[in-house]
Amino acid sequence: MQKGVPFGAPFCIFLNGRELRYNPPMSEKKSTPEAATSSTWGGRFEEALSEVAMRFNASVSVDKRLAPQDIRGSIAHSQMLAKIGVLSEAEAEAIRAGLVEIGEEIERGEFVWSDELEDVHMNIESALRTRIGEAGAKLHTGRSRNDQVATDLRLWTRDACDETAERIRALQRVIVDRAAETVDLLMPGYTHLQRAQPVRVGHHLLAWAEMLDRDYGRLLDARRRLNESPLGSAALAGTTFPLDREMTARALGFERPTRNSLEAVGDRDFLVEVTAALANCAVHLSRISEELVVWSSQEFRFVQMSDAFTTGSSIMPQKKNPDMAELTRGKTGAVIGALVNLLVTLKGLPLAYNRDLQEDKKPTFEAFDTVRDCLLVLTGAIESMRFHGDDMRAALREGFLDATEIADWLAERGVPFRDAHHVSGRLVAKAASQKKTLGELSLEDYRAEHGSFDESIFAALDMETAVERRDVVGGPAKRRVLAAIEEFRLRLQ
């Protein structure tokens, strides 16, 4: 802005030699509420923010979601201030009672939020001062909004990790239950979306549960690392008051206070970690959703989604679309975008706090919300879908899924596997040219390709036999799948 131009007046700047003019509308020239002038920001400021700057600056529409955590942190801080003699016991109790009352008002939806007070912290503090007077003005002793918001955000994220982890567990429980129901059903296993080898449906479903188990672990691992308290770091360099940071850390359920005040107020690594875990989870949910979309298609007909998790067409009455699975697949991009948003926000920030960090909450909240909804939807969709065992068995008869059994049969009799692989491939070509399955070829057809074949080769081509022969840890043999189900149920406890 040009020197000497009154605040709110038209002004111009020069960018790459071009003159850019700005004429603020009358409603944006000056804000008048006393709350947004020097009463909020101290004696240095004599003029109020313009309306456009106030709107640009305000974050309360987003960060009011931190109100429960802000109140918890303020109560812990006030109790500590009473312990070190900054507050009297009566003042600390008045603060506690006032904050509890404000929290209940917020929960009922009766609290009036003001953009002029900028954020959740100032809104709550202003309401507290209105209720209890001078004691409320003492609450901010020894702290800054920098350590206050860092503490609130860690508390919120910790709670969100716990809730999301439990929703992952709920989906896993449904998947494991469905795996137990379908342990006797066989289906084609795929590579490159081409029919490859027979597996048990339960074995395939347990693969989903394993993917989610890593997401669960990543989320709780990130939660463990974020569980340190920034409270008492103040703006960046701590405070001259003899704060008991261990006391507030314990009161808020943190493992310990953060070790460096500069880093504590400027750190958002913990958001990157949890959002990366959420992005990974969203990708897994998308992959599961893709299989549900494919399996429920007319071309596959492996499952039928329930009416509660499908929609119809506005023009084609026969349609039953797997929209919930498709939306889960589609929403993955938003979670990945939240991670990128955070990384780009952080990449150029010097220590300690910078106002850019105001932009960390929206992507974090959206990532958690999106993953939560996707987990809820898929839990219901998978719990209510029906499996079409007959169509799965029919799919096993096409695509030569038993070709590997021929190669293994020969290898067990001393034929080098690469040679056995070529023999099996020639038999597949022969069967395809005759429009037969491998089981429909004659023994003479087999012996024409290799003299080792005898009648026992046909027993090896049975799909159930093929699956049961894969009796290794992590394999699809029935006893292995049943053992995996029981082991998983122990994990879920």
Contacts (Cβ under 8 Å, ≥6 apart) of 162: 223
Amino acid symbol at 417: F
List residues bridging with 187 in a β-sheet.
199
388 classed as catalytic = no
The CA distance from 407 to 419, in Å, is 8
Can you state the angle between helices 120-132 and 67-83, rounded to 10 degrees? Answer: 50
How far, in Å, CA of 154 to CA of 14, rounded?
A: 42
Half-sphere exposure of 489 (CA within 13 A, CB side): 11
Which whole-number Å values give the CA distances from 254 to 71, 127, 248, 354, in the listed order? Answer: 16, 27, 8, 24
**In the annotation, is 313 catalytic?**
yes
Catalytic-labelled residue, pool 27, 144, 192, 433: 192
Consecutive H or E run containing 222: helix 201-226
How far is it between the farthest Cα atoms of the chain? 101
DSSP-H helix ranges across 5-119: 38-41, 51-57, 60-63, 67-83, 89-107
Listing DSSP states for 169-205 in one string gives: HHHHHHHHHHHHHTTT-EEEEEETTEEEEEEEHHHHH
Distance between CA 221 and CA 201 in Å, rounded? 31
DSSP string computed for 264-294: HHH--HHHHHHHHHHHHHHHHHHHHHHHHHH
Q: Which of 27, 39, 88, 313 is catalytic?
A: 313
Residue count of the chain, please give it. 493
- Contact criterion met (CB below 8 Å) for 370 and 335: yes
Q: Which residues are designated catalytic? A: 192, 313
